[in-house]
C-alpha cells in the first residue's frame, strides 16, 4: 500500500510525505504488516525531487518486497 500526502506550505514549497507498507496475505484487507518505509521532503518552486521507497519482508525465508518511486515537480 502506498500512501502519499502532498500539500503547499506557507513558504510556497510543496511538502511530500510518503509511506510504503508491505502486507502479507492474498487480500487487501490483511492487517499483517511485514514492514514499511517512510520518506518526507520539500520541493521549492521550480525544482523537482525523486522519492524512492523500499520494503523487504522481515519474515524468515520470505523474499517478498515492495518498491515505489515517483518524481514531484513544483513548476
- Alpha-carbon gap, residue 41 to 17, rounded angstroms: 7
Q: What angle do CA 67, 45, 1 make, to 5 degrees?
A: 20
| Residue 58: per-residue pLDDT | 72
Show me where the domains of the chain are located.
2-73
Per-residue pLDDT tens for 24-36?
Answer: 766 556 667 778 9
- Alpha-carbon gap, residue 1 to 55, rounded angstroms: 11
Q: What is the pLDDT along the chain (75 residues), one digit of tens a residue?
A: 999 999 999 999 999 999 999 887 665 566 677 789 999 999 999 999 999 999 998 777 778 899 999 999 998
Amino acid at each position: 500500500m502506498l500512501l502519499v500526502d502532498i500539500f503547499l506550505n506557507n513558504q510556497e514549497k510543496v511538502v511530500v510525505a510518503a509511506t510504503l507498507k508491505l502486507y502479507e496475505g492474498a487480500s487487501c484487507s490483511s492487517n499483517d504488516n511485514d514492514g514499511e518505509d517512510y520518506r518526507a521532503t520539500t520541493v521549492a518552486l521550480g525544482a523537482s525531487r525523486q522519492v524512492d521507497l523500499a520494503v523487504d519482508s522481515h519474515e524468515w525465508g520470505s523474499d517478498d518486497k515492495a518498491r515505489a518511486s515517483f518524481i514531484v515537480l513544483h513548476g
